[in-house]
Structure 1
Amino acid sequence: MTAWRRAAMTVSMLGVATAVGALMVFLTQALLARQMGPNAYGLFASSLATVTMIAPLAGFGLTQFHLKVYGVEGWQARRWLKPSMAFILATTLAALAVVVAWALTGAPHDGTRFSLLVLVPVVLSVLAVNLVSNKYRLENRFGRMALNQMVIPGSRLLAAIALLVVPRPSGELVALCYGAISLLVALSAIPQMRAMFSGEISLVGYGPRSESEAPAAASPGMGAVWSEAWAYGVYAALYPVFFQISTILLKYLQGDSHAGMYAIALAVMTAIYLIPATIYQKFLQGKLHRWAAHDKPKFQLVYRKGNVAMFLLGLAVSAALVLLGPWLVPLVFGERYQRVVAILMVLAFCPPIRFLSTSMGSALLTENHMRFRVYAMAFATVAAVAGNALVIPAYGDLGAAWATVAAETILLLGTYYGVRRFTRIQRAGDDSDRG
């Protein structure tokens, strides 16, 4: 009972921190949208979405792989730290090159090129926050992890408040502020990252630290890191495309104003989706890796109960969105964004679908079954891109919203199929071992 009470307190603390972070994001979006207007805000939001979509290439699944390898190997996972540094350097340079190349060759000359270039440090800040949060998660220092993950939304809110003195700030000015903030966040994370890659991680749940190192022959190279991390990296790279493609295509197919409207609706959904992310990615993920390797009955119990609880929670959130959305959106963002209400009424179908797919997908984050989740996300991403490209020219932002609902449904079905598939494989292996 004590363990459950402690877990409930930790989840509650993370939930409060997530709610505060979501509120910061929401207030920032509201302040900027009111000041800038739909066109300028749309230009900025689509540029930020583009960089955010590319940012997961930096690190390319390394944080998720570290959770897995520490969950399985415990203290001996230190052997992966040195090749991980080379892997981070290579993938980060690749991500930065992609952003710069697109800005210089593919972006229009309406301020988008400048915005993309000054937002390049966003890639570094996202990587730094993820790496440091991972260290705190492995150490069960969830309070520090929550504070660390509020650095970016908190600093952006301060920037939005400071910009209140500027009448009608341009998308380029706001992008410049975001870029500067991101650079400072990345620099401030250097001490913790240095400690982490020096092996100074205080693991919890694995007994006292062993002073004996793994033999030299067992030391992996960067190729081994790639072999282990690629599935997590592909998933991390696909998700922003899956989630952000509507805003980007609306910019190029309908204009900045439509992109701005949809970006507001997406900001609301982003805040909602932090709920399952808090439970499964911030709190449970490291534990699920450990339970899958060392306590399968506990893993299965958490999985089954989690599916039911998350679906019911998603239904409740959808109901709240339908009831409160038509009142809150004009109040917070202004009458110019009334169109956002119609978009949210369509997107209100998504929370129970997303909450359930998140809980079901937790079974595909463990052991060697991540590839099934990658397949599901790949199919859903293709559906999201194709669906948006087909319906946006005719139906605009509402078409994009329905395409998003369809893509979320495909993701859920693909995740369900993946879980069933790997369960059959696992059972066949168990029967073979007994035979």
Structure 2
Amino acid sequence: MKKSSPLLSTLWLASEKLCAMALVLLTTLILARHLGPDAFGQLNYLVAIVSLISPFAAMGLNAIVTRELVLKPEANDTILASALGLRLLGAAVASLVVFIAAPWFVEPGFRLAFSMLLIANLFTAFLLFDYWLQAHVANRYAAKARLGVLILLTITRLLAVYFDAQLQVFVWLAAAEIALTGLAFLLVYMLKGNGIAQLRFCATTAKSLLAQSWWLMLSGLAAIVYLKIDQVMLGQLSSHQQVGIYAVASRLSEVWYFFPVALVSSFFPKLLTSKTTCTDQYQQQLQQLNDALFVVALLLAIVVMFIAEPIIILLFGNSYQASAAVLSIHIWAGVFIFMRALLSKWLLAENLLRFSLITQIAGALLNIAANYWLIPIHGALGAAVATVLSYAAASYLALFLHAKTWPMAKIITASFLLPFRFALKGRTIYQKLEK
């Protein structure tokens, strides 16, 4: 298999992300208008439940598999087979548990369609081959696979809307997208790899991978709780209409989250170099990058807060007007999420990954508690407030709890005080000029 240059591989992924963002927004816009808040909320509620068990299909193996494949090319077939076996087992057990419990939280008329979502979840095990492609610097194949499935399902959904399809059809299409994405990666491996017949499961290798991955699985579970538990709890504690109102707002808010990841990833190698050569320069670069993330997120939050209502009504219609208030609150979570992108890299550079796990789990638990308290009172607005509070706690306040994370706490605090820093700096310059 021919490898791409790192730059070309990055360009493929960036192009795919931009195209996917546009297609997802288009689909969200059309489906929300077609289904209305209640049915659109029901769809997002069911998909969110399945999303919560996706970390059990990943088993925390993603980054570990990429590393092992790079370091042990002679054992690639054994590593892939062992990891694939673990992922299939995790997906199967999680899906079975949720299927048994489904009568308590899924309406009778949707249980068959929901069962298809759970079956489709098994195919996410094949996303393992995405990390095989990453190890071989062949991200163009992954981008083509994901984008091909997304384009196909976007067209199919638009046709379903044109023929006035009912909600169950769109649940089936959501299941089809999950399954086809997994099958697309399996097909890529069959065409570009050694073939399925060469894979050999090894219990010893599987045990070694699992020993390294369990805490990463917990971290992944905490991360997905951040993103999806609010919609599940809204469906349980409020109504599907509130889920629909919240889903529209959160989609528009979360669409910007790719930016801090891309920015920080671009500067991370430079930060690592500075860390080993000049500590003062390293701290200065951290502060400058965090300031930039804070300013972009702050300006974005302010602008969105003022234009939320006209944008929501223009794009989604009057039936989603309540989403404007939710969006005006939810967008402020981005201030902490943008800076969390740098915090995550800093924790990696400082070898504090266990603290990252602790903060994510604490944030997820706080999110659940805040949702449980606020949703019955304020509905979707309460869920948005819970999201902002949990991110603030996990990405900022928790840094004050341990001396090793105080340096980053100071950097984030300095970013919050950026207007005062500029004013003080301007005053100092003015005083020097007077002299």
C-alpha distance after superposition, 1:382-413 (max 9, x if no partner): 00000000111111111111111001101212
Q: Which residue of 2 aligns with 1:163?
A: 160
* Alpha carbons 2:87, 2:125 under 8 Å: kept: no
Moved more, 180-189 or 372-381: 180-189
Q: State the Cα distance separating 1:355 from its structure 2 match.
A: 0.7
Counterpart CA distance in 2 for 1:331 and 1:239 is 32
Q: Which residue of 2 aligns with 1:23?
A: 22
Counterpart CA distance in 2 for 1:75 and 1:195 is 23
Counterpart CA distance in 1 for 2:243 and 2:95 is 20
Moved more, 40-49 or 113-122: 113-122
Does residue 96 (structure 1) correspond to residue 79 (structure 2)? The answer is: no
Determine which of 362, 366, 390 is the counterpart of 1:407.
390
Does residue 184 (structure 1) correspond to residue 180 (structure 2)? The answer is: yes
* Alpha carbons 2:95, 2:121 under 8 Å: kept: no
C-alpha distance after superposition, 1:356-395 (max 9, x if no partner): 0111111334685322111010000000000000111111
Counterpart CA distance in 2 for 1:394 and 1:69 is 49
Determine which of 86, 109, 112 is the counterpart of 1:111.
109
* Alpha carbons 1:80, 1:220 under 8 Å: kept: no
RMSD of aligned residue pairs (Cα, Å):
3.6
What TM-score comes out, normalization by structure 1 length? 0.78
C-alpha distance after superposition, 1:107-142 (max 9, x if no partner): 33343422321112542454444x344334334445
Counterpart CA distance in 2 for 1:279 and 1:195 is 34
Q: State the Cα distance separating 1:82 from its structure 2 match.
A: 1.8
Measured at CA, do residues 61 and 354 of structure 1 come closer, stay the same or move farther in structure 2, by a change above 3 Å? same
Residue identity in the other structure for 2:176: A
Q: State the Cα distance separating 1:339 from its structure 2 match.
A: 0.7
Q: Which residue of 1 aligns with 2:411?
A: none
Measured at CA, do residues 124 and 104 of structure 1 come closer, stay the same or move farther in structure 2, by a change above 3 Å? closer
Counterpart CA distance in 1 for 2:13 and 2:159 is 28
Counterpart CA distance in 2 for 1:97 and 1:414 is 36
* Alpha carbons 1:135, 1:196 under 8 Å: kept: no
Q: Which residue of 1 aligns with 2:336?
A: 353
Determine which of 276, 288, 293 is the counterpart of 2:260.
276
Q: Which residue of 1 aligns with 2:81?
A: 85
Larger radius of gyration: 2
Determine which of 220, 228, 237 is the counterpart of 1:244.
228
* Alpha carbons 2:56, 2:217 under 8 Å: kept: yes
Q: Which residue of 1 aligns with 2:421?
A: none
Moved more, 306-315 or 291-300: 291-300
Counterpart CA distance in 1 for 2:123 and 2:278 is 35
Residue identity in the other structure for 1:123: N
* Alpha carbons 2:233, 2:371 under 8 Å: kept: yes
Residues matched between the structures, number: 392
Moved more, 13-22 or 327-336: 13-22
Counterpart CA distance in 1 for 2:308 and 2:10 is 26
User: Structure 2: where are the runs of 5+ without partners?
Assistant: 197-202, 408-435
The 5 A counterparts of 1:207-286 are: 221-279=205-263
- Give secondary structure in 2 for the equivalent of 1:111: helix
The 5 A counterparts of 1:1-20 are: 14-20=13-19
State percent identity of aligned pairs.
18
C-alpha distance after superposition, 1:65-115 (max 9, x if no partner): 234556xxx443654762453243233333233234323433333434223
Counterpart CA distance in 2 for 1:90 and 1:66 is 12
Measured at CA, do residues 187 and 348 of structure 1 come closer, stay the same or move farther in structure 2, by a change above 3 Å? closer
Measured at CA, do residues 423 and 407 of structure 1 come closer, stay the same or move farther in structure 2, by a change above 3 Å? closer
Residue identity in the other structure for 1:274: F
